[in-house]
Amino acid sequence: MPSAYPDTPSFNPLESHSPTTPSTKASNFLATEIYNIGAQPGIRSLPPSPERDFLVLTWGPVVYRTTYSPLSDQLLPLFLRVLSTEVQAAIPRCLPGTRKQLLLLETNYACKVFSDEKQYGHADIGAVRRAFHNWKRAELALPVMELPTRLRVCLVVDEGVVEELAGMVRRREHMVDGETEEGEMIMDDGEKETDGEFESESESGSSYYARCPVIMVEENFPDRRRRDSNPADGVYPGWTKVALSTVVEVLDGLRFGNGLSRYHRPGKVYLGEDRWS
């Protein structure tokens, strides 16, 4: 992977978490999500491979695609672009830090997508959880450790997620409330179109599709703090729905062994900052 600082090829990313570097939310997140796993003996000994690079050089969610309809073929690239956009927009908002720390987070972000119709087509949440568990156990051979949160939860794109995104696309393409006196097109969720360009009311850099939901599944193996592969309890089924704009917030909130249930409300989508749809 290219250095985050092309003009300093010998830059050591661990320096951003050294005693001489300010301790910030960004530096703490870098430590728990990237640096600590790379220091594990079982991980250090892995031969170079894409899987090893994903573990020790990047951070970002694992995504399972379970729908292979024509609509999903059309919209999956958009979904992944929106996910990346929302992650980049959330970094300075949720993980404040020095310029170098933020740059490391921005440039080292990567998601891993499992897309195989034979294996995952129409898979339910239980099947996805088992696939995620088996990938960590058999292919990564992870030792018992304090897992980064990106290896304790995964995202699922099913037909319901695709249909939600499709509805947003349709609403963006068509006028809902007509033209205002200023000639602006007002969309039903507060977005405006001026001279053919859509503008978000958010100043955070989030996109028009920030509230697109995605399924987040909790699977803690082999975390030494939470060894419950399926942590379902009461009204919490072991998974929930979150808006794409909240993925970084939730990943940060799950650090240090916290569970996903705190973000769950039955039939609701987590919108961030203790708000649900």
Model pLDDT for residues 155-209, shown as the tens digit of each residue: 999 999 999 999 999 998 884 444 433 433 333 444 444 333 334 444 445 689 9
How many angstroms separate the CA atoms of 227 and 224, rounded?
Answer: 6
Tell me the residue range of the domain where 132 lies. Answer: 16-158+218-256
Residue 246 in any domain: the answer is yes
pLDDT at 256: 86
**Residue located via tokens 């090829």:** 9
Residue 110 is assigned to a structural domain of this protein: yes
**In this model, does residue 234 exceed pLDDT 80?**
yes
Indicate the average pLDDT of the chain: 84
What b-and-e string marks burial along 234-265, b requiring 16 or more CB atoms within 10 Å of the CB? Answer: eebbbbbbbbbbbbbbbbbbbbeebbbbebbe
Query: Considering the domain boundaries, does residue 35 fall inside one?
Result: yes
Span 74-90, mean pLDDT? 97
Q: What is the arithmetic mean of pLDDT over 134-160?
A: 94
Query: What distance in Å separates the CA atoms of residue 211 and residue 214, rounded to the nearest whole number?
Result: 9
- Residues across the chain: 277
**Predicted pLDDT of residue 181:** 39
Considering only residues 52 and 26, tell me which one the structure prediction assigns the higher pLDDT: 26
Residue 66 pLDDT more than 60? yes
Mean pLDDT of 17-28: 78
Lowest mean pLDDT across 48-62, 117-131, 181-195 = 181-195
212, part of any domain = no
* Backbone phi and psi for residue 211, each to the nearest 5 degrees, phi listed first: -90, 5
pLDDT band at 33 (very low <50, low <70, confident <90, very high): very high
Instruction: Classify residue 99: in a domain, yes or no.
Output: yes
Domain count, the chain: 1
d(CA 78, CA 69): 15
In-domain check, residue 146? yes
**Residue 51 counted as domain residue:** yes
In a domain, 181, yes or no: no
Q: Closest Cα partner for 143 from 45, 218, 254? A: 45
